[in-house]
Amino acid sequence: MRTQVCIIGGGPSGLLLSQLLHLAGIDSVVLERRTRDYVLGRIRAGVLESGTVDLLRRAKVGDRMDKQGIVDEGIVVAGETHGFRIDIKALTGKSMMVWGQTEITQDLYDAREAMGGTVIHEAEAVKPHEMDTDAPFVTYYKDGAEHRIDCDWIAGCDGFHGVSRKSIPRSVLKEYERVYPFGWLGILSETPPVTHEILYASHSRGFALASLRNENLSRYYVQVPQGEPVENWSDDRFWDEFKARIPGDLAEKLITGPAIEKSIAPLRSYAAEPMRWGRMFLVGDAAHIVPPTGAKGLNLAASDVHYLFEALKAHYLDKDDSGIEDYAQKAAARVWQAMRFSWWFTTVMHQFPDQSGFDRRMQESEITLLETSKAAQAAMAELYVGAPY
Ligand SMILES: Cc1cc2nc3c(=O)[nH]c(=O)nc-3n(C[C@H](O)[C@H](O)[C@H](O)COP(=O)(O)OP(=O)(O)OC[C@H]3O[C@@H](n4cnc5c(N)ncnc54)[C@H](O)[C@@H]3O)c2cc1C
């Protein structure tokens, strides 16, 4: 088989890139190692920056989002005793959209199918070859037979555990990492959200977050120690702990119910550079991971896709390779800004096991600054809503 762009990974990055390329008349094949149902079953991100919202509309997968997504114009930050609102819309002129990653992936799969796009599921042992030559290709196994796809470019959209990044020589790849000594225990419950804006609560018992998917679907998290087994958390234990960490007025009106999904995600900051090796590009989680505190993971994947799509479009349609040359530097510059924001917000809001009284006072002072200073709120709002592409 031959294609112009071979995309490894059928998560949000790979599907969105393939969809945008298709609309520009550029051919691609997506290789995904899992089934479609498995990919759609992953409960992950939910808050979209305005740039991501625009990109989804541009990819013609924005209709359902515009009808059913919830426009989010502010966030609530809480310390030990009370919460306060940061008016993102008033401070930046932009708003966010609450629309789940599962819904985005569903719409992207439907759009790829409707347009006759090639997405090969259960592709095993996918391997990129000859990326440092002008004739790269990708091999994989399906139904016991080996297949080969020749291409002009390879897009490594295969997430943190994928094969693309690992194919870059160790002598070339630079990795930067911070692993946090805690994780997030998250539950999804078919109950009305306790607040219609996302609540970030920094409590001495640990961090808690209240978010929502729709009027009757809530996503709540509490910080738990690293390595904590999810089996240790009955629904009742979760609700008791969650209530203890959020401001009293909200705890009083919280409606609880059975968890329809419960899982623990570790928190880490990670970046690999360069984001391009010869004719292979790294996109999204394949190149970087941020802790979910700033809601940046999926949004960074979308901005990488934007830069790569523009670069490939200019290459094929305008014979202009400047975007290809600039991709790694442009994408990484935006990644590092979001990386800093996510690290800062994580550090301010969570309890660290070795934290001193002084450290807690510093956290409280940061939160007071956010509550009382319009300048501090404006700086945060600008980063939260996302830098323009
Ligand atoms: C538990 C969890 C919670 C999260 N919560 C948030 C959140 O609240 N907010 C936020 O912004 N972000 C969140 N994220 C991050 C966000 O989900 C990711 O940034 C986003 O999924 C990145 O998309 P991607 O397509 O780059 O990677 P992925 O979604 O990881 O997709 C990669 C795809 O590649 C496939 N693949 C992997 N290896 C291979 C291979 N060898 N061959 C072929 N295919 C392969 C995988 O099966 C997968 O479908 C969360 C992530 C996790 C894990």
In this prediction, residues 356-385 reach a mean pLDDT of 97
pLDDT of residue 285: 98
Alpha carbons 183 and 235: distance in angstroms, whole number:
17
Question: pLDDT at residue 140 above 80?
Answer: yes
Per-residue model confidence (pLDDT) at position 213: 85
pLDDT in tens, 60-83: 999 999 999 999 999 999 999 999
Measure 164 CA to ligand 1 centroid, in angstroms: 14
Tell the residue nearest (CA) to atom 15 of ligand 1.
297
Whole-number pLDDT of residue 145 = 97
261 pLDDT higher than 90? yes
**Substitution candidate for ligand 1 out of 33, 198, 303, 385 with most atoms within 8 A of CB:** 33
CB distance 69 to 63 below 8 Å? no
Q: In a 3-state reduction of DSSP, which class is residue 160? A: coil
> Rounded to the nearest 5 degrees, what angle is found at the Cα of 46, between the Cα atoms of 41 and 47?
160
How close is the Cα of 197 to the center of ligand 1, in Å?
24
> Ligand 1 center to residue 45 CA distance, Å?
9
Residue 43 has pLDDT above 90, yes or no: no
The Cα-based distances of 279 to 132, 155, 327 in angstroms read 6, 9, 12
Sign of the CA dihedral 286, 37, 138, 318? negative
Residues in contact with 388: Cβ distance below 8 Å, sequence separation at least 6, in sequence order: 51
Ligand 1 atom closest to the CA of 283, numbered from 1: 26
User: 252 C-alpha to center of ligand 1: Å?
Assistant: 35
44 confidence band (pLDDT: 50, 70, 90):
confident
Amino acid present at 201: A
Q: Give the model's confidence band at 214: pLDDT under 50 very low, under 70 low, under 90 confident, else very high.
A: confident
Pocket of ligand 1 (CB under 6 A): 8-14, 31-34, 39, 44-46, 101, 123, 126, 157-159, 161-163, 265, 284-285, 292, 295-299, 301
- With the most atoms of ligand 1 within 8 angstroms of its CB, the residue from 20, 43, 56, 101 to mutate is 101
Report yes or no: 203 and 349 within 8 Å, Cβ to Cβ. Answer: no
Dihedral (CA of 157, 162, 167, 168) sign: positive
User: 98 - beta bridge partners?
Assistant: 47, 70
Pocket test for ligand 1, best of 298, 307, 345 (most atoms within 8 A of CB): 298
User: For residue 203, what pLDDT is reported?
Assistant: 96
Question: What SS3 string covers 214-276?
Answer: ECCEEEEEEEEECCCCHHHCCHHHHHHHHHHHCCHHHHHHCCCCCEEEEEEEEEEEEEEECCE
Residues comprising the chain, all counted:
389
Model-level pTM?
Answer: 0.95
For residue 278, the SS3 value is coil
Query: Residue 55 in 3-state DSSP?
Result: helix
For residue 229, how far is the Cα from the chain centroid? 24
Query: Taking 80 as the threshold, does the pLDDT of residue 124 lie above it?
Result: yes
Q: What confidence tier does 238 reach under pLDDT thresholds 50, 70, 90?
A: very high
Q: Tell me which of 13, 17, 20, 44 to substitute to probe ligand 1's pocket, judged by most ligand atoms within 8 Å of the beta carbon.
A: 44
* CA dist., res. 220 & res. 242, Å (int): 8
Place of tokens 């930067």: 176
